[in-house]
Amino acid sequence: MKKKIVVTAGTFDLLHPGHYHTLSYAKSLGDELIVIIARDETVKKIKGRKPVIPEEQRRMMVEAIKPVDKAILGSLTDKLEPILKIKPDYIVLGPDQTTFKIQELKDELKKHNLKTEVIKVKNYTKCPFHSSYDIIKEIVKRWCNKELQ
């Protein structure tokens, strides 16, 4: 029986429970979970800022998370390149993922004769720090307040 391969992708800058939830859900769909880590330059283009954590360090930390079998760096030129090489059975998009639009991604996959199912995580993990941006804001707030004391 063929192994089911699942792919998900993201920045994974400052890890939080939402990342773990998405990775756990993605792994539950198949036998092998491969995570594509956005390159520093790609994140800068999309978000207007480089990640706090360098790409190789983010890749290493994501690969250490229990549900993840392998983490790789994305392409600097074509976001679909690693997906076309892997040919996954499923692609899982996080709840706040905006780089890929579901229908556009499905259309691109179809052009390449891939029958990959695209699934978007519906539940957003609610916790005090559910985004890297919120973590950064809290650090800045606490650091600035400490400096003022």
Domains observed in the chain: 5-143 (3.40.50.620)
What is 92-115 written as a DSSP string?
EE-TT--SS-HHHHHHHHHHTT--
Tokens 């360090």 identify what position? 57
11 is in an annotated binding site: yes
78 is in an annotated binding site: no
- Mean local confidence (pLDDT), 4-14: 95
124 is in an annotated binding site: yes
State pLDDT tens for residues 28-70. 999 999 999 999 999 999 889 899 999 999 999 999 999 999 9
17 is in an annotated binding site: yes
Spatial CA neighbour of 127 closest among 8, 13, 15: 15
State pLDDT tens for residues 77-134. 999 999 999 999 999 998 877 777 888 999 999 999 999 999 999 877 777 777 788 8
Res. 147 pLDDT band, cuts 50 70 90: low
Spatial CA neighbour of 51 closest among 107, 91, 12, 103: 12
CA gyration radius, the chain: 16
